Structure 1
Amino acid sequence: MKKIKVLQLPIAKTRAGITHYSMRNWDYIDKTRFQFDFVTFSKSIDFEDELTKDGCKVHYVSCYAEENREQFITELRDILSEGYDAIHLHTGHWKNFLVEEIAIEMRIPIIIVHAHNNMVGIDDPELRQQAIDLHEQQKKMFMPYHATHFLACAKSAADWLYGPQIPKENIRILKNAINIDKFSYNPGVREEYRERLGLKDSFVIGHVGRFAYQKNHEMLIEIFAKVSKEISNAKLMLIGEGEGLESIQSTVSALGLQDRVLFLGRQSDIEVPKLMQAMDTFCLPSRFGGLDLVLVEAQTSGLKCLVSDIMPEEAKITDHIQYLPLDVEIWNDAIIELSEGYNRVDCKDIVANAGYSLTNQIHELEKIYSGQV
């Protein structure tokens, strides 16, 4: 039987964010029926060997459309000429619709646009505002004919990317689902990893995410600096990498907190669930965001989660999540209260019943890719 060929774009050098989402779907989709290939603007992909071993192809595009429009068009046409049944475009904000237009020209049967965020993640305020202005201009010109399917991780992401031009009934919210069993609370693993990391008697505040403007590590360090003065055994576990890592490390050193902050770098999909077991609370003071996978994962593992109040309401899957304004004092008080202890329980059944089972979501994607919906 001929496999359905799906082109995913873009992916980045490391497995984080949208890349993590695409790769997780590839890990669990029916490989006897579907074939994924990938487009990247990165110079290299850390996990390319994994993909080629599975028979996937990684297409390297040398420039963005706004850098060299003609070169981009030529390269994308060459890629699409290899015969794809579907193209899955993951995006956070609009710059143009060139990929969609080329896909229409090349008669790709299924063109999927997928909204993953609700703001522009650029550090510089002036450049960020320019990008927002461009996004809003482009959004007004985005029309139903630009794609066959309109997906979003949450309602806020759908509103941000599609606006009123796309009828609400045409937009499908595809929940950021996970392998629930991997993140199920496990006291044995918790004890093992706390022992391994020297955290046996510590109160561990955890965070998983790229060191980028969106994730607001600056405020997280400010919060922890205050918390550490009141909770003598507090430790901060940071999992991830990114362009802002060195700056945050310098801030931690300047505050004299280097012995209390664990920079664990990028971790595998196997290690992250185990490290979450070792945490006592999960903090996500993001400046903006869609429905982060890590919030689903943290709630599944029974962690009490503190998140910024800009996060979508859909993020509240369990009663273990608390929305807070971006105010250091308020976060400090909430963490101190949690440090007094709570009954941590396995929440995998609650998460599964809320529709965040990866098995169910993969079946939804398979229907979309095969043209059944």
Structure 2
Amino acid sequence: MTNRVLHVFTAMNVGGAETMILNLYRAIDREKIQFDFLVHTEEIGYYEQEIIALGGRIFRLPYPRMRYLSSYQQQLFELFSQNQFSAVHSHAHFFSGFILKVAKKASIPIRVAHSHTTSDGQNASIFRQLYRSYMKRNLRKNVTHRFGCSVTAGESLFGKNVETNVLPNSFNLQAYEQTTAKKESKPVDSIVIGHVGRFETVKNHSFFLEIFYHFKRNYPQASAVLVGDGPEKNKLEDLIEKYQLQDSVNLLGIRSDIPAIMSTFDIFLFPSIYEGLGNVVIEAQAAGVPCLVSDTVPKEVDLAMNLVTFKRLTNGAEAWAEELTKLIVLKERPSWDERERKLKSFGYDVVENAKFLEKLYSGY
């Protein structure tokens, strides 16, 4: 008998958590475990076609607004009751408390809450504090397994001194063994400063462009490559024009060939405001690329290969540009054997993590 697991997301578009689950889905024994997905949008997500091809199903419910929460709860209970899910794995941060409360009521035996961030991005209003407190109580009462992509991410949702498993955002390591793709930036002989991430405020692309603007004064042939898409794309295009960087900043959109693109980077620049972990920094290290990262990113992202440098956001763009200049002279990079060994020792092998989840979802 195949155990069906329901993963709960807002949408199945390209993002750290969504990509991690798809990596696991590709690697897991699908004769034993099948993934289904509950999303809260009518828009077709980037990964939905592949999910269906792999044997998964997509369920849709309206986004859970407070005034319609009673109706949402009823629809959710019906979904749980009408399908024989072995497990519900929620990636909805604090709202996982509500999701898993309903899952318990529907007698679903395995109920997983998974934290992928260190912040919900909301203010600290009285209402928000009450909401978080209520959801944390529900998590304590209704969760059977707690996961975080990092220690810090787990603590932000479940609190300290609470038993939580760190499940690294694993991926196919072999994709990074041979990354010799043709450079996709211009000019072809330039230094390439790269970034991969959704175009949203937390990723701090505006600061990225300011840093690159200062860096380019010393390296006029330098170019920047930004992979991703999102609500701040128009703002980024305006900033590119403001800094007169139209000929040296390349927006590649959403891409599936990240290992090949990362192989063209000389430095991976990641000035996020906050992160659950920052999995793309792990991937950059897998490609052997030096990384300049904000100190708001959990230190667990550093795989001890002398590739990661942390810097305070408050240091300012010019100081960051100077740091980039120092990293450019870093010529010696770890071999693939060393990188593979480190990645496996830190738990980033998707094959091993898929085996772990097979046992968990099967109730072992």
Q: TM-score, normalised by structure 1?
A: 0.90
Query: Quick one: which of 151, 165, 173 aligns to 2:166?
Result: 173
* Post-superposition offset of 1:291: 1.4
Residue 272 of structure 1 aligns to which amino acid in structure 2? Answer: I
Q: Distance in 1 between matches of 2:130 and 2:200?
A: 21
The 5-angstrom pairing of residues 1-373 of structure 1 reads 2-45=1-44, 46-81=46-81, 82-92=83-93, 94-95=94-95, 97-121=97-121, 128-130=123-125, 133-134=129-130, 136-138=132-134, 141-164=137-160, 167-168=161-162, 170-184=163-177, 186=179, 189=180, 192-194=181-183, 196-268=184-256, 271-317=257-303, 318-326=305-313, 327=315, 328-345=317-334, 346=336, 347-372=339-364
Instruction: Give distance in 2, aligned partners of 1:369 and 1:349.
Output: 28
Q: Distance in 2 between matches of 1:211 and 1:132?
A: 25
1:230 to 1:114, Cα distance in 2 relative to 1, 3 A: same
Are the equivalent residues in 2 in contact too, given 1:210–1:240 (CA < 8 A)? Answer: yes
Taking the aligned partners of 1:330 and 1:336, their CA distance within structure 2 comes to 10
Q: Residues 214 and 286 of structure 1 are in contact (CA less than 8 Å); yes or no, is this contact kept in structure 2?
A: yes
CA contact (8 A) 1:7 1:86 kept: yes
- Work out the CA distance in 1 between the residues paired with 2:321 and 2:253: 25
Secondary structure in structure 2 of the residue aligned to 1:128: coil
- Contact conserved, 1:158 with 1:171, CA < 8 A, in 2? yes
Task: Report the Cα distance in structure 2 between the residues aligned to 1:136 and 1:105, rounded to whole angstroms.
Answer: 21
The residue identity in structure 2 corresponding to 1:219 is: F
Q: Give how far 1:49 is off.
A: 2.6
Identity over the aligned pairs, expressed in percent? 27
For normalisation by structure 2, the TM-score amounts to 0.92
Q: Name the SS for the 2:306 alignment partner.
A: coil
Cα distance per residue 1:7-40 (max 9 Å; x no partner): 0011515222222122222111111101111011
Aligned in 2, Cα 1:285/1:132: closer, same or farther, shift over 3 Å?
A: farther
8 Å contact from structure 1 (residues 177, 357) kept in 2: yes
**Which whole-Å CA distance do the structure 2 matches of 1:98 and 1:341 have between them?**
49
Q: For the residues of structure 1 that align with 2:62 and 2:130, how far apart are their CA atoms?
A: 23
Which structure 1 residue ranges, 5 or more long, are not aligned? 122-126
2-structure distance, mates of 1:24, 1:288? 24
| CA pair 272-140 structure 1, distance change in 2 beyond 3 A | closer
Secondary structure, counterpart of 2:102 in structure 1: helix
Alignment partners' CA distance in 2, 1:134 and 1:202: 52
Q: Deviation digits for residues 223-245 of structure 1, max 9, x if unmatched?
A: 11111111111111000001111
Is the Cα contact below 8 Å between 1:114 and 1:150 reproduced in 2? yes
Which secondary structure state, in structure 1, belongs to the residue aligned with residue 41 of structure 2?
coil
Post-superposition offset of 1:255: 1.4
CA contact (8 A) 1:142 1:162 kept: no
Superposed CA offset, 1:114-142 (max 9, x none)? 11100123xxxxx5334863564336524
Preserved CA contact (<8 Å) 1:15 1:23: no
| d(CA) in 2 for partners of 1:144, 1:120 | 18
Q: How far apart, in 2, do the equivalents of 1:320 and 1:287 lie?
A: 20
Work out whether residues 11 and 38 of structure 1, in 8 Å CA contact, stay in contact via their aligned partners in 2. Answer: no
Provide the C-alpha distance between the structure 1 equivalents of 2:88 and 2:288, rounded to a whole number of angstroms: 36
Give 1:47 deviation, angstroms. 3.5
* Stretch deviating more after TM superposition (67-76 or 79-88): 67-76
Q: C-alpha separation between the residues in 2 aligned to 1:182 and 1:34?
A: 24
Measure how far apart 1:330 and its partner are: 2.5
SS in 1 for 2:351: helix
How has the CA–CA distance of structure 1 residues 62 and 163 changed in structure 2, closer, same or farther, with 3 Å as cutoff?
A: same
Name the CA distance, whole Å, in 2 between partners of 1:42 and 1:154.
28
One-letter amino acid matched to 2:117: N
Q: Aligned pair in 2 of structure 1 residues 162, 142: CA closer, same or farther (>3 Å)?
A: farther
- The offset of 1:351, in angstroms, is 1.5
Cα distance between partner residues in 1 of 2:130 and 2:190: 47
Q: Give how far 1:44 is off.
A: 2.1
Verify the 8 A CA contact 1:11 1:18 in the aligned structure 2: no
Provide the alpha-carbon RMSD of the alignment. Answer: 1.9
**Change beyond 3 A, Cα 1:143–1:18:** closer
